[in-house]
Chains A and B, each alone.
Chain A
């Protein structure tokens, strides 16, 4: 097993933890946190590949990761604002109860 494979396994494991958590918890905030973990795992992937694969411009991987962090943070902020708005209406942050868009 090369170090790269090790890093990638690590990020895969983190991703799946985040996925399992998002799928199993009913609190909206925890679901969002699970999604954040998945995004972090993707960042890990970026850095792992930046570290071990050659590239013509060495800073590209890092820049990618920086932008990814920025966007993830923005997304989390908006998501939590939505959770607060939902809570204001329903006094409830259970994800199953927010199913008005069903067919």
Chain B
């Protein structure tokens, strides 16, 4: 086993150490805090590269190390870490993108007073995310999962003085918590069914054939196989973390956090954790494929949820006016694509899309951050415009990201990864509906990205902020350029002609196929991309918006639909009216219970105590005290009576003495004494 495997734990440990040191640095030591965080990330990146090399040397192996956390007697709880190509690729991606975002933050957060705290939280997040990636035990993964949620809460609510930010952090945490409940239930069920939570354990792991064969029998309620039920429960956690329908409501609100946070957490990494989880436990999710008479297969559910999410996100993104919220809903949509890929049977395609999406979404978010930095945090795209000339590098890189996301063919990685997904969806034997939904979303994606870039960069500046915007400093633009390079270059590793990534991930050699192997489907998707781009240009690019207050062309065309989409399809209102009301009812019930029942009991006990006290006092005063007083006065009276025997007369004393002597003698003699 290569030595890196035994030291794989260092990959999350180094940023964790950096977070610990950062927690202790004082507020004014800004450079030290940033240096510590960057050092941790760069060191971790170096280790990840070493790990990738080791993993690629033998792609099909899952090399793992375990240790016993504590011994229960009947069994032991074991944790460990795992090295395989999936882990290695994602670790490299997280650390690389993370390092670039850290560097970007040096410039973006330069005026913020809580600079040191920001980097401490970023390091904590990176450590937790890497912990999820290297874990070989579902328990360790869950621990890191929760830590990631905590870091997300801390970072979304970084500007906690703003009430919207605090509320958004709370919403994110609670919504993902609801998903995590399902994850925990699945975890417990898995442990109960297989007796282990370790993924790969030399044949005994829960993802290995013995355990899966045991789980793939229909046992649960409704004729579901155990693996299906467990898989769906674990998917609940993934759905929460990855913003799938119906738990997607927290992602747009999470844009209240600083833009580097949005880039790192809500584009590249944390939201991808859900996708990673499903990819990691893919053998478990796919175990029920052999069964034919179960009511539902786990992966079918995943696929449809993914498809719905993809369409939902794209539709809402069309009607948003905040630059970050457009990107947030775009993320929701792309995550839907990844889940779709997982559901239809190719986790490799999902991971490929995850990798490319990480780069291009981070690029887009950092570009948005650069725009905000230059335009003094003006986030409404209706009030921007004309930035193409004022922020050239930002415009160029943003444009590259936009084209990659839209799926402009051949040159950009986004095209290849999306093609892979559509290709696999086309071959799904269960239904073609996800394919259709995916194709619809392709159009919408191209459309709203064109709208975004047109409103933001083209035309004339529509406000003071846009007028006076300037290019960001190099510390912010260099990461943009690097990410743009990655966005373009990453596509190379996954094309059908050279399926390097796929073969390394799957651990077997995949035969190379012609570049245009997709055939009709590829042509169809290219046409759809062109339609989307064209429509966007027609509505927003040809005649850019003249004034900030001018109406949106789409709003004029279909006002009711536009308003509905702009209101995010009223999901928040729906949840508030249903789930919110239920919980408010519970809270009122609990409050009533507390006020009347428990409080009443306590008050009653207090009254009881008071009553006992009164009784005691009365008993003491009237009983004991009076009794003692009476006894005392009696004694005094007796004393007074006795003292009357002290007549003071010597004669009397002597007389008594003599008579007593006589009496004593008589008594003794009569008593028999001698």
Q: List A residues at the B interface (Cβ < 8 Å).
A: 19, 22-23, 26, 31, 95-96, 98-103
Cα–Cα distance between A5 and B654 once the two chains are bound (Å) = 27
Residue positions of B touching A, CB distance < 8 A? 642-651, 654-655, 658
Query: Are A99 and B649 within 8 A (Cβ)?
Result: yes
Min Cβ gap B648→A in Å is 3
Q: Is the CB of A100 within 8 A of B648?
A: yes
Shortest CB–CB separation between residue B140 and chain A, in angstroms? 94
* B646 & A102 in contact (Cβ 8 Å cutoff): yes
Q: Are B650 and A103 in contact (CB under 8 A)?
A: no
Assembled-state Cα–Cα distance A48/B464 (Å): 146
* New contact pairs (20) apart from A22-B651, A102-B647, A103-B645, CB-CB < 8 Å: A19-B654, A22-B654, A23-B655, A23-B658, A31-B650, A31-B651, A95-B650, A95-B651, A96-B651, A99-B647, A99-B648, A100-B648, A101-B646, A102-B648, A102-B649, A103-B643, A103-B644, A103-B646, A103-B647, A103-B648
Which residues of B sit under 8 angstroms from A31, Cβ to Cβ?
650-651
Chain B nearest CB: distance from A16 CB in Å?
A: 9
Report yes or no: A101 in contact with B648, Cβ–Cβ below 8 A.
Answer: yes
A residues near B647, Cβ cutoff 8 Å: 99, 102-103
User: Are B646 and A19 in touch, CB under 8 angstroms?
Assistant: no
13 interchain pairs, CB-CB under 8 A:
A22-B654, A23-B658, A31-B651, A98-B650, A99-B647, A99-B649, A101-B648, A102-B647, A102-B648, A102-B649, A103-B642, A103-B644, A103-B648
Which single residue of chain A is at the shortest CB-CB distance from B661?
A19
Q: Which residues of A contact B650 (CB under 8 A)?
A: 31, 95, 98
Q: Which residue of B lies closest to A95 (CB)?
A: B650
Cα(A26)–Cα(B643), bound, Å:
23
Contact residues in B for A96 (Cβ distance below 8 Å): 649, 651
Q: How far is the CB of A53 from chain B (nearest CB, A)?
A: 18
Of A19, A26, A95, which is within 8 A of B658 by CB? Answer: A19
- The complex places the Cα of A96 from the Cα of B647 at a distance, in Å, of 10
List chain A residues, Cβ under 8 A from B649: 95-96, 99, 102
Contacts of A99 in B (CB 8 A): 647-649
Q: Shortest distance in angstroms between B661's beta carbon and chain A's nearest beta carbon?
A: 10
Kindly report which residue of chain B lies nearest to residue A34, judged by CB atoms.
Answer: B654
Q: Which residues in A have their C-beta under 8 angstroms from that of B645?
A: 103
CB distance from B272 to the nearest CB of A (A): 106
Contact residues in B for A23 (Cβ distance below 8 Å): 651, 654-655, 658
Closest chain A residue to B640 by CB distance? A103
* Complexed CA–CA distance, A56 and B654 (Å): 37
Residue in B642, B643, B645, B648 with the greatest tally of chain A CB atoms within 10 Å = B648
* Complexed CA–CA distance, A101 and B647 (Å): 8
A-B pairs with the 8 shortest C-beta distances? A103-B643, A102-B648, A99-B648, A103-B646, A101-B648, A102-B646, A102-B647, A99-B649
B651 partner residues in chain A, CB cutoff 8 A: 22-23, 26, 31, 95-96
Contacting residues, chain A, for B642 (C-beta < 8 A): 103
Q: How far is the CB of A86 from chain B (nearest CB, A)?
A: 12
